[in-house]
Amino acid sequence: MTEVRGEAERLHLDAKPAALEMQVQRTAVVVVDMQNDFCTPGGSVETAGFDLSLVRSIIPAIADVLSCARSIGLQVIYLQHGYRPDLSDLGPPESRNAIAHLAAGVGTPFAAPDGSMGRIGVHDTWNTQIIDELAPQPGDVVIRKNRFSGFHDTPLESTLSSSGIETLVVTGCTTSICVEALVRDAMYRDYRPIVLSDCTAEPQGQANHDASLAIIESTLGWVSESRHLHAAAEALRPGPETGSPT
């Protein structure tokens, strides 16, 4: 059960380049694109020849972070990348977004592992469904997007503004593309983005992951780890009551 938290309660998070103090009611955990196409064996990324092991390895850590976040009253927001069935939101044929995604097979019929007939990168199919291990819970927010950044042509900013959110704790994939795009746009809008390094991953290789974390730490935001969030949350929890002396 989610505990009700007071407006003044604060998390003290160890991070780089400097520790942060975050107000509980003004902080959200964002899960970027943890969906079947990108994360599940038999999905389109694996069938295209990419190694899913790095992305699969972060699922337990994200699950633990989400449990922790819900227990102390942090908002949880999922970003879900995909397109309309007619691909009308893909962009003009000569746009880089359209070229890149069509090359990746977006819109192609796909025999999904669950027996359904999906389509690569199309909403309301198995392909874009958030993975079962991280399924949204009541009270979570799911926002669909059609570009790498979750701020482009989505209600993300209005959702954050209406809730008074100032700080984003970012998890998901892929570090060098959609995660970094989100962080850049968050920084431009004066949010405070914090990437949890053990809750983000990159199927194109560890070097891309490390390079993105380096630029985020130096210029765009902050980098921390899930253990530091757990420690910060634990510090909020009341200790055992002590009895009155007799």
145-196 pLDDT tens trace:
999 999 999 999 999 999 999 999 999 999 999 999 999 999 999 999 999 9
pLDDT at residue 242 is higher than 80 = no
Domain assignments of the chain as residue spans, ordered by start: 10-90+97-234
What are the CA-CA distances from residue 44 to residues 37, 79, 96, 147, 150 (Å)? 5, 18, 20, 18, 21
Which region holds residue 139: left if phi is over 0, alpha if psi is between -120 and 50, else beta? left
C-alpha–C-alpha distance, residues 202 and 207, integer Å:
9
10-90+97-234: which CATH topology? Rossmann fold (3.40.50)
Amino acid at 76: V
Residue 204 is predicted with a pLDDT of 84
pLDDT at residue 135 is higher than 80 = yes
Stretch 89-109: mean pLDDT, rounded? 96
pLDDT tens figures, 8-21 = 689 999 999 999 99
Contact criterion met (CB below 8 Å) for 211 and 176? yes
**Other C-beta atoms lying within 10 Å of the C-beta of residue 245:** 4
Percentage, residues of the chain above pLDDT 70 = 93
pLDDT at residue 49 is higher than 80 = yes
Which residues have a catalytic role annotated? Answer: 33, 145, 178
Residue 10 is predicted with a pLDDT of 93
Residue 4's pLDDT band (boundaries 50, 70, 90)?
very low
pTM score of the predicted model: 0.93
